[in-house]
Amino acid sequence: MLTKIREKIQGVIATVILLLVVIPFALWGINSYFEGGSSVNVATADGVEISQRDYRAAMDQFRGRMDPAVFDSREFKALVVDGLIDQALLVRDARARGYRIGNERLGRLIREKPYFQRDGKFDPQLYEALLRREGMSTVEFEARLREENMTGQLQAAFGETAIVTEAEVTALLRLWRQEREVVYAVVDPERFAGKAVVTPKAIEEYYSARADAFRAPEEVRIEYLRLAAEDFVKKYQPSEDELRKAYAEEAARYTRPEKRRASHILIAVAANAAKEEVERAQGRIRELERQARAGADFAALAGKHSQDPDSAAKGGDLGEIGRGVLPKELEAAIYVLRPGAISQPVRTEFGFHLAKLTGFTPETRKPPHEARKELTDLVRKRRGEERFLEEAEKFRNLVYEHPEGLGPAAQALGLAIQRSEWFGRAGGAGVAAYPKVVEAAFHPEVLGKTRNSDAVEINPETMVAVRVLDHRPAALRPLAEVRAQIERTLRLQQAGELARAAATDWLKQLQAGAALEALARSHALKYQGPRLVTRERLDGRDRRVVEAAFRAPRPQTGRAVYGLADLGSQGYAVFGLKRVLEGRPEKADSALRERARRLLLSRRGIEYYALYRAGLRQKVDIKIYQDRL
């Protein structure tokens, strides 16, 4: 019985299904349900419409976070539209298959979102305020959340229906546990650096051929206002009345509920047992009750007669328990006992119980003076966040209504105008580390017309508005400024080429019969002697050598197979594969075998899902309006 009780306490451990997330953004198609039929579409797919608003919202997720040339490319825009089409088709098919998210589950999903919680509890006012700030109604948000979780159910189904045989698991383990005996020597480019010759002409040609690489990026310097909840939290000083009220409201936080320690004896009988069987069990428990009340040792009786093996081994001890853990009938019997008292026989779904209260810890509550600091922080956080939400709306309106400068908003809200260092479209330090701030600074309306940006929310508790102070267009850096950098690059390139040439020559000598250890010694190379390696637990240089060794063909007739491994900036490794030892799946423990099974299930689920997505597209006529992208 204790085992089942523990399962109730711990919850059901769900099976983890590994799925590939192939759409790089969440649901956007829901907007069309709230816009009416007049929106411009960028694509259609058999009655499914992708609106220009949805497309722009999806593109905005990437703006300022990637190379502008890539962001503006037709290929990238096509990828975004394809993702939206796939998502819309997926939503439609999920509905057709009967996937639904009920109101109860939807409510639980919303309540569990941490950004809708205050002090660990769902706050309806915060929920509505945050949605208002995003310009979204609760209806729209809840529709999005329904669809997101509905399609998630469909995706998970592919992982749940995948099948993997024991033979496939064994085959994968045989590969995983295969060992290869490898030797290698490292050819370091540094040994050839002194032989590299870089001429002025080579530097000039490199500079001319790669002018774009030496172009100083476009940069701006901004002034900005920052409105943050943390500032209001720090400034707020709670009154004594507020602290008393918070203490009363949060009584459960400062209360340790009553705990009881009990032992029991169980005579098991099924809930649907025959009358005769129930009567026999009842007779046995009454006899044990008689013995216990007559002075027999309760722990000894439990150890000998109880049919709950978990507790019987401990003299019937159930440990310290609180409310809501035991079956309600047994809990009720225990909670009316005095220490040392024995209950009447009680029937639950498990059978008949006899309980004894062996310990009692009364309810305790932390007094207000001990909780004062915590209460102060709690009230400060609440009031500070409330004030932030009030001021955020003013902040948004002021920077919009006075686009000529940040002064009016700063004066009205008591904020300081701050300045940034120079930064480019890739971002920078401080406030420029936030992609939304960078995007706002380089927006044509802000950059070209020297006006305020709109209020930018960089996280749920911080807003920023920016104004460009200075702008430096992209420009080619002078050769004199980058000459040393180019010379260093060319010297490293030459050293790498010389290292590869030497490694290739030594490889030919090995293939002709030379010994790697002797060759390494004669050329003062770093040598790694024979060792067995596997595909797992690799890092750094060894990883590249081992990966190359596992790509190499098996040695034949006792002769090693030689090859080259590219180590990047560390040069090259000349390696020899001496022998291959087959993996032994029977040596794998249950954890490794389960890991292999999960990997295969994941891959198969991904394959099924990819085929399913491709099938959805094949069934429909897709039209994309390129001129609207």
pTM: 0.47
Whole-number average pLDDT of the chain: 86
Structure token digits, residue 103: 């109101």
β partners of residue 488: none
Report how far residue 322's alpha carbon sits from residue 261's, in angstroms, rounded to the nearest whole number: 9
pLDDT for 266-314, tens place per residue?
999 988 899 999 999 999 999 999 999 999 999 999 999 999 988 999 9
Report how far residue 103's alpha carbon sits from residue 538's, in angstroms, rounded to the nearest whole number: 49
How many residues can be counted in the chain?
A: 629
Q: Looking at residue 18, what is its pLDDT?
A: 24
Report how far residue 254's alpha carbon sits from residue 344's, in angstroms, rounded to the nearest whole number: 35
Structure token digits, residue 388: 């932030």
> Mean pLDDT over residues 251-262, rounded?
85
> Mean pLDDT over residues 36-60, rounded?
79
CATH number of 2-162+613-628: 1.10.4030.10
pLDDT for 382-403, tens place per residue?
898 899 999 999 999 999 999 9
Report the candidate in 151, 141, 144 with the shortest Cα–Cα distance to residue 100: 151
The class level of CATH for 218-239+373-473 reads alpha beta
Report the candidate in 405, 412, 526, 422 with the shortest Cα–Cα distance to residue 473: 422
The β-bridge relationship of strands 351-361 and 259-268 is: antiparallel
Whether the CB-CB separation of 217 and 424 falls below 8 Å is answered with yes
Q: Looking at residue 503, what is its pLDDT?
A: 95
- Rg (C-alpha) for the chain, rounded Å, is 36
pLDDT for 345-364, tens place per residue?
999 999 999 999 999 988 88
Q: Looking at residue 545, what is its pLDDT?
A: 92
Q: What DSSP assignment string belongs to 142-164?
A: HHHHHHHHHHHHHHHHHHHH---
Percentage of the residues of the chain whose pLDDT score is greater than 70: 91
Q: Looking at residue 537, what is its pLDDT?
A: 60
Q: Looking at residue 65, what is its pLDDT?
A: 67
Q: Looking at residue 280, what is its pLDDT?
A: 94
Which residue did the predictor score with more confidence, 391 or 125?
391
Q: Looking at residue 27, what is its pLDDT?
A: 35
Q: Do domains 2-162+613-628 and 258-362 have the same CATH topology?
A: no
| Banded model confidence at residue 448, pLDDT cuts 50, 70, 90 | confident
Report how far residue 221's alpha carbon sits from residue 472's, in angstroms, rounded to the nearest whole number: 9
Give the CA distances from residue 267 to residues 255, 296, 335, in Å, rounded to whole numbers and listed in that order: 36, 18, 21
Check pLDDT > 80 for residue 16.
Answer: no
The class level of CATH for 258-362 reads alpha beta
Residue 399 one-letter amino acid = V
Q: What is the DSSP letter of 427?
A: B
Check pLDDT > 90 for residue 460.
Answer: no
Give the CA distances from residue 539 to residues 400, 525, 535, 545, in Å, rounded to whole numbers and listed in that order: 53, 21, 11, 10
pLDDT for 311-343, tens place per residue?
999 999 998 888 878 899 999 999 999 999 999
Where do the H-state alpha helices sit in 433-564?
A: 435-441, 444-449, 479-511, 516-522, 540-551
Q: What angle do CA 267, 271, 275 make, to 5 degrees?
A: 80
| Banded model confidence at residue 539, pLDDT cuts 50, 70, 90 | low
Report how far residue 616's alpha carbon sits from residue 625's, in angstroms, rounded to the nearest whole number: 20
Q: Looking at residue 38, what is its pLDDT?
A: 44
Q: What angle do CA 381, 382, 388 make, to 5 degrees?
A: 85
Check pLDDT > 80 for residue 376.
Answer: yes
Which sequence spans correspond to the domains of the chain?
2-162+613-628, 179-214+479-581, 218-239+373-473, 258-362
The β-bridge relationship of strands 462-472 and 475-476 is: unpaired
Structure token digits, residue 71: 């962001």
Q: Looking at residue 587, what is its pLDDT?
A: 84
> Mean pLDDT over residues 159-179, rounded?
88
> Mean pLDDT over residues 56-69, rounded?
74
Report how far residue 613's alpha carbon sits from residue 45's, in angstroms, rounded to the nearest whole number: 14
| Banded model confidence at residue 135, pLDDT cuts 50, 70, 90 | low
Q: What is the DSSP letter of 371?
A: S
Give the CA distances from residue 554 to residues 180, 236, 559, 613, in Å, rounded to whole numbers and listed in that order: 9, 73, 10, 39
Check pLDDT > 50 for residue 531.
Answer: yes
β partners of residue 118: 121
Check pLDDT > 60 for residue 37.
Answer: no
β partners of residue 563: 575
